[in-house]
Each structure stands twice: as structure tokens, then as C-alpha cells.
Amino acid sequence: MSMDFIVGLPKVGGLGNIMVVVDRLSKYAVFMPTPTQFDAKEPDSWIRTQRDDGYMLSNLMSLRTFDLSDNNIHDSIPYQLPPNITSLNLARNNLSGNLPYSISSMFSITYLNVSRNSLSQSVGDVFSNLSLFTTLDLSFNNFSGDLPSSISSLSNLSTLNVQNNQLTGSLDVLTGLPLTTLNVANNHFSGWIPQELNSIPNFIYDGNSFDNGPAPPSPPYTHRHLVDLIIIVVIQDQAMAIKKIDNAALSLQEEDNFLEAVSNMSRLRHPNIVSLVGYCSEHGQRLLVYEYIGNGSLHDMLHFADDGSKTLSWNARVRVALGTARALDLLAFCVHRNFKSANILVDEELNPHLSDCGLAALTPNTERQVSTQMVGSFGYSAPEFALSGVYTVKSDVYSFGVVMLELLTGRKPLDSSRVRSEQSLVRWATPQLHDIDALAKMPEPEFRPPMSEVVQALVRLVQRASVVKRHSSDESGFAYKTPEHEAINL
């Protein structure tokens, strides 16, 4: 039964009392302390503990309204928040940092107010799957950069307040939304105001650098993909995969820079990396020629295999995990930037081959441009990429973890056909795993292990499994022989 819970935190600090609060909150639907009830010390320590042990807040499954407005909280917003809330109000505090990526998994949220704080950096591309949003208030903060493209997904948004920030760029991303109130005053927006926005009943746009005169018609919105076309050809009885590069998506327009990037890609030689065997750069066309792996991708095998012959056994899944981990370990000096199961090709012997290695050097590295390249990779992207557009080697480690969950569960990273609480694989799987303390830190890049440690951990796992299997065979009197195509090379 849902009840309101209007209360403050216990006067005595410490983790034990926080656990009591969390236990009580888990039974109620509303948490709304009296305004100014908190002094500066109590909420700081409480919020800090929630940030370090954020899984506690994520356990509040019944909570629907979370209101900490008008208090004196000095800290960043905890990464993990109650996952099923419909209303989150943190207005008029002293919060810093930026919006946590976990907001992207709050599929039921309709109201978010973080106004009059000290939040900064970019807003973050966290709104793609939050179609129930009606009110978003980011006003009176220090947010900078362009409005994220995922705001265009908020198909029920009626009120948007972003006034008094440092936001830049155009307002084109807001066209098509059912807004009745829009306040963008006192920012650094520029360009033309889209004609459609002028019909919004409550539209305030003073204090920006908009162009005068009527706005030109908006061009159709398209995503630029680096690889424009893939064809399979046979050269001297050997199949090759040829990728045609979209020059409009390239950051390296100079021929020398393009050739240097291709040269670096050609040196990536590893049994678990798809080899670049040639290229062409003539008459304005740029082609990359790769060895052809004809048995399909890991994504297809996990999610679209119709016949039993393509069902991956447990040994085969471990083999894929270990092989791709070794491939990523080789790439430790650079980023992959698009690591996902669709880019892991599997040959007839079930050996994994990581594709698109080195292509990141050809793509732009600005937040807006990279986000369009990653449009097919939702569910794999690390939190820091969605929040700031920054992508590092540690971001690849996060994406590898998502693929590991795919291998373990057979689920897609994002599956809209499931109930909302299970659509995000990471969100669904986290409570099912054992080391919650370690998982709570994984959103922070510095806590993710290097791929070399991941490889060592997988090797130890395989070795232990082999010892247990041999021991079981000896006790039963039956010898077990792993099929040759499933053998795991250590």
C-alpha cells in the first residue's frame, strides 16, 4: 500500500541510521523533508554517503516522489537514485557537478527540477527513453554547451526552463515538441529562432544572440555514419569486406592524415581483430578493405539465431569474452569508441574478431558529432560519454562490461519490448549480481580495471573451471573431452 512519508533524517549521523532511513523509505511512495529542516552538515554527509554507496537509493523501488528542495545541501547529486520515481525535486540547494547518467533509466519520471543550484558542464544526453517527461527545469545553474539531441525524444514535454545558464548553439532540437512554456533567457544561444517555436504561448528568449529576420526552413535531420556502405567481393578466390567511408563524416580531410590513420590501423595485428588488408583513396572516394568473417556477428547469434546450430554454448561464450578482452587489451593505447556485440564477428570455429578497430581516429571528437556516430550504440555507452561527450579507454571497458552481461543473460542492452523496469540490461542486472559495493563504483571511470586485469581474471576463471571439470570427470569415472571448436586457448 502506498503512503506518504514526510520526514527528516535522524539527528544522529552514521551509516546505521542511513540504513534505517532507507529501510523505512522502501515502504513508502513520497520522501519530502520540511524545507530548511536540514542544516549544512547533515545533508552533506548523507548525500556523500549515498554517492559512495549509491545502491542504497536504488533499492527504494516503491518511492515515486523524491523532494529535497529548499534545503542546504552542498554536494553532487548521487549517481544512483530511486529508479521508479515520477517526480524529482532538488531545487534551491547548493548542488554541484552535473546530472547523473542514471536519470536515463528512470523510465517513469515526468517531473525534474534542479533549478537554482551550482550544476555545471554539459546537460548530458540522457533523455532518449524518457518519453513521459512533462516538466524539465534546469534554470539558474552553470550548464554549458549545446542542448543534447535526446531532448527531441521528450514527446510529452510541455514545460522547459533553461534560463540563466551558459548554454550555446541553436534551438533546432526543440522543434516538434508540444511545449506550452519555454524559457531560454540569458544564455548564449545563437542562430535563428525556428518559426515553430514562435507559436509557443509562453516563450521567453531575451538575453541571447539570436539572428534577426525569418528563419530559413530546417533541413531534414540525418545522422552521419562514418561507414556509408559495406560490400562483399571475391578477389583471387578470397572474400573481402569493403567499407566505403562517408567523407562528410571524416575529421581527417587532409590526405596525409588519412593515410597515417590507415597505416596505424594496418599495424593492428591480432588473432581476435579483423585485419585491414588494403585501402583505396582516389577520385574523392575512400575505401577500406578487410578480411571477411562470414559467420555473422555476436549480436545476431545472441538475439536473432533461428536454428540450434548457432546457439552459443557456455564454453563458446567464455571463449568470445576472453578473445574480445584480449583484442581490447591490445588497443589500450587508443580507443575503439564503438564497442558492441554487433562489432564482434564470429568465425566458423566460434573465434571472435573485433571489427572497426582504429576507425575512431577518422571521426570527429566533438560532443555533437560523436553522438551521431554512436546512435546505434545506446545501452553500451559509458555514463561519462552521455554526460560530456568525453570518450576514453575506460569507456571501452564499460562497454565491454555490457557485452559480458549480454553473454551471461542473452538479453539486449536496451529492449523496448520488455516492461520498463527491465528495458535497460545494466539497470536490470545490477541487483542480481553479488559485489554491489564494486558495482556502485563502476560508473566512475577511475574505478574500472584496465583490460589487462580483465584478461587475467578471465584466464583464471577458465583455469578454475577446467580443474573442476577434470575433478568431476575423475570422480564419475567418465572422461570429458571439450569439442575442438569450443576449446579455449589460454
Please tell me the distance from the alpha carbon of residue 408 to that of residue 341, in angstroms, as a whole number.
Answer: 13
Please tell me the distance from the alpha carbon of residue 457 to that of residue 356, in angstroms, as a whole number.
Answer: 25
Beta strands in 324-482 (DSSP E): 344-346, 352-354
Give the 3-state secondary structure of residue 4: strand
Q: Which residues contact 303 (CB under 8 A, 6 or more apart)?
A: 410, 412
For residue range 338-364, what is the model confidence (pLDDT) as tens digits? 899 999 999 988 899 998 887 777 765
61 forms bridges with which residues in the sheet?
none
Cα–Cα distance list, 59 to 22, 26, 440 (Å): 8, 7, 12
Please tell me the distance from the alpha carbon of residue 398 to that of residue 445, in angstroms, as a whole number.
Answer: 8
Q: Which of 221, 146, 79 is nearest to 389 (CA)?
A: 146
Residue 444 corresponds to which amino acid?
Answer: E
| Residue 416 confidence (pLDDT) | 76
For residue range 13-35, what is the model confidence (pLDDT) as tens digits? 333 333 333 344 444 454 444 44
Please tell me the distance from the alpha carbon of residue 397 to that of residue 1, in angstroms, as a whole number.
Answer: 41
pTM: 0.59
| Residue 27 confidence (pLDDT) | 44
- Cβ atoms of 110 and 132 within 8 Å: the answer is yes
| Residue 477 confidence (pLDDT) | 41
- Cβ atoms of 64 and 86 within 8 Å: the answer is yes
Q: Is the pLDDT of residue 4 over 90?
A: no
* 145's grid cell: 554547451
Q: Which residues contact 289 (CB under 8 A, 6 or more apart)?
A: 240, 241, 242, 276, 277, 278, 279, 280
Percentage with pLDDT > 70 across the chain: 68
Q: What is the CA radius of gyration of the chain?
A: 25
Widest Cα–Cα separation across the chain: 87
More reliable by pLDDT, 72 or 400: 400
Q: Which residues contact 222 (CB under 8 A, 6 or more apart)?
A: none
273 forms bridges with which residues in the sheet?
354
Please tell me the distance from the alpha carbon of residue 33 to that of residue 39, in angstroms, as a whole number.
Answer: 12
What confidence category does residue 405 fall into, taking pLDDT thresholds of 50, 70 and 90? very high
| Residue 40 confidence (pLDDT) | 38
Say which DSSP state 333 is in.
Answer: G
Please tell me the distance from the alpha carbon of residue 31 to that of residue 266, in angstroms, as a whole number.
Answer: 57
Say how many residues make up the chain. 490
- Cβ atoms of 20 and 54 within 8 Å: the answer is no
For residue range 117-128, what is the model confidence (pLDDT) as tens digits? 999 888 988 888
Q: Which of 242, 186, 240, 241 is nearest to 210 (CA)?
A: 186
* 457's grid cell: 581474471
Q: Is the pLDDT of residue 177 over 60?
A: yes
| Residue 237 confidence (pLDDT) | 66
Mean pLDDT of 39-56: 44
* 64's grid cell: 515515486
Taking the CA atoms of 307, 309, 313 and 319 in sequence, report the sign of the dihedral they define. negative
Which residue ranges form the domains of the chain, and what is each CATH number? 4-210 (3.80.10.10), 227-291 (3.30.200.20), 298-453 (1.10.510.10)
**Burial, 282: exposed, middle or buried (Cβ in 10 Å; 0-12, 13-18, 19+)?**
exposed
Q: Is the pLDDT of residue 111 over 90?
A: yes
What confidence category does residue 426 fall into, taking pLDDT thresholds of 50, 70 and 90? confident
Say which DSSP state 95 is in.
Answer: -
* Region for 168 from its dihedrals, namely left if φ exceeds 0, alpha if ψ lies in -120 to 50, beta otherwise: beta
- Cβ atoms of 218 and 175 within 8 Å: the answer is yes
Please tell me the distance from the alpha carbon of residue 363 to that of residue 249, in angstroms, as a whole number.
Answer: 7
* 405's grid cell: 552481461
- Cβ atoms of 33 and 7 within 8 Å: the answer is yes
Please tell me the distance from the alpha carbon of residue 232 to that of residue 291, in angstroms, as a whole number.
Answer: 10
